[in-house]
């Protein structure tokens, strides 16, 4: 009997055998029968139809790699992986279910033949090959959707955690302010507490923005007519006060007015300058330039340093942190989200943030259109 016919005629026997076999696998032993059967009937139906469909050698190789063309609607394997993630199963359990199905089908199929008529030859080999390819594709689809759903819930957890922590942090901040007033001014103790609270608030803000961006919600802007030259100058005053040993130069050229969220742009500039000060030679200046033309404003932060060209784009990835001698003492005081948030701010303005390293000078640039809908002046590259 061809394998496709066997999958249809012996479906219930296959399901029972698969459930029994699955119970012998430790990671699946505690699941009930309903959970173990789940999408298996539909999956067997799909595999049976697939075995009856002509297939080229190229398509066969694609499927064995779990890289078949995407379907127009979610497949049964994709839905299976999604629901397994929602039930809290591990990826090990998801893969183990397919091990149980594969073993049960092939064992029952071969057992169905008389002893003197064991499946041999090219046709049987092709059936087994096609079946294994279908299982491999199903595993790939399930794991992909499983991981996507788990990642989505991780971001939701981070967002909820960040918001839940905001309330107690606000209470601590208010308490520190009351202590300051009762003391008649800033004492060394209250000043230290205030700095700690401000730092925790900054970390939470970064965490919340990361969660929003990762969930596809996007960054919310409050645009208004703004002179970025003046806004950046105000931000640099604060940065110089926070980094008294740093030498920060500032240059403004051209018309730097436009429709921007000044607070967000200042946050992006603060991230760039803080990174430059933290990772560069303190004897060398950090140079901030704001340049405006008819349609764009560019903010660049340049400092002496060396970053491998292949690593620059990685710096914009969330939670990525470089390890350098000048930054080892600060490795645990930030989340590695500064450049990620900076790029999200630029893109929310329809702009871009990039980095370059030429002749031992590192330069990060933010290019922002002056109004929504204006294109960037040229394709932006970090290489």
Output the tens digit of pLDDT for each of the chain's 383 residues: 688 888 888 889 998 988 888 888 787 777 788 877 877 888 888 888 888 888 787 877 776 666 666 666 677 788 878 877 777 778 888 888 888 888 888 888 888 877 666 666 667 778 888 888 888 888 888 888 888 877 777 776 776 677 667 778 878 888 888 887 777 766 777 777 777 787 677 777 777 776 666 656 567 788 999 999 999 999 998 888 778 889 999 999 999 999 999 988 998 999 899 889 988 888 889 999 999 999 999 999 999 988 888 888 888 876 666 655 544 444 444 556 788 889 989 998 999 999 999 988 999 999 999 998 888 765 444 43
| CATH architecture, range 224-369 | 2-Layer Sandwich (3.30)
Cα distances from 173 to residues 3, 132, 159, 187, 199, in angstroms, run 69, 60, 21, 15, 11
DSSP tag of 312: T
**For residues 179 and 191, is the Cβ–Cβ distance under 8 A?**
no
> Residue 184 — left, alpha, or beta (φ > 0 → left; ψ -120 to 50 → alpha)?
left
User: What is the reported pLDDT for 116?
Assistant: 60
In our burial notation (b when 16+ CB lie closer than 10 A, e otherwise), range 187-213 reads: eeebeebbeebeebbbbbebbbbbbbb
Angstrom distance (rounded) from CA 85 to CA 145: 8
Residue ranges, CATH 3.30.565.10, the chain = 224-369
User: What is the reported pLDDT for 160?
Assistant: 65
Q: Tens digit of pLDDT for each residue in 96-150?
A: 888 888 888 888 888 887 766 666 666 777 888 888 888 888 888 888 888 887 7
Tokens of 371: 């109004």
Angstrom distance (rounded) from CA 17 to CA 380: 57
């Amino acid at each position: 009997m061809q394998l496709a016919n066997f999958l249809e005629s012996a479906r219930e026997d296959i399901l029972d055998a698969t459930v029994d076999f699955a119970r012998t696998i430790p990671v699946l032993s505690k699941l009930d029968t309903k959970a173990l059967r789940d999408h298996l009937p539909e999956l067997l139906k799909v595999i049976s139809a697939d075995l009856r469909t002509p297939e080229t050698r190229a398509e066969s190789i694609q499927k064995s790699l779990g890289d078949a063309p995407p379907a127009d609607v979610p497949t049964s394997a994709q839905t299976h992986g999604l629901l397994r993630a929602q039930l809290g199963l591990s990826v090990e359990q998801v893969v183990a279910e397919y091990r149980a199905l594969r073993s049960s089908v092939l064992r029952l199929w071969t057992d169905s033949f008389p002893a003197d008529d064991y499946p041999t030859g090219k046709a049987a080999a092709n059936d087994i090959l096609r079946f294994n390819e279908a299982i491999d594709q199903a595993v790939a689809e399930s794991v992909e959707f499983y991981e996507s759903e788990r990642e989505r819930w991780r971001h939701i957890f981070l967002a909820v955690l960040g918001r839940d922590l905001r309330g107690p942090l606000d209470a601590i901040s208010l308490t520190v302010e009351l202590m300051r007033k009762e003391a008649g001014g800033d004492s060394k103790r209250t000043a230290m507490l205030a700095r700690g609270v401000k730092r925790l608030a900054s970390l939470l803000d970064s965490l919340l923005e990361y969660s929003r961006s990762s969930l596809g919600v996007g960054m919310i802007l409050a645009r208004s007519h703004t002179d970025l030259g003046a806004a950046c100058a105000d931000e640099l005053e604060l940065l110089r006060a926070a980094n008294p040993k740093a030498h920060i130069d500032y240059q403004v050229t051209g018309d730097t007015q436009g429709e921007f969220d000044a607070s967000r742009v200042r946050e992006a500039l603060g991230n760039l300058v803080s990174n430059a000060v933290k990772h560069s030679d303190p004897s060398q200046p950090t140079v901030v330039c704001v340049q405006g033309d008819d349609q764009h404003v560019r903010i660049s932060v340049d400092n002496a340093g060396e970053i491998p060209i292949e690593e620059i784009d990685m710096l914009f990835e969330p939670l990525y942190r470089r390890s350098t001698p000048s930054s080892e003492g600060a490795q645990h005081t930030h989340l590695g989200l500064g450049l990620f948030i900076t790029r999200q701010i630029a893109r929310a303005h329809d702009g871009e943030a990039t980095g370059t390293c030429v002749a031992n000078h590192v330069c990060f640039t933010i290019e922002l259109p002056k109004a929504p809908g204006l294109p960037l002046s040229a394709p932006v590259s970090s290489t």
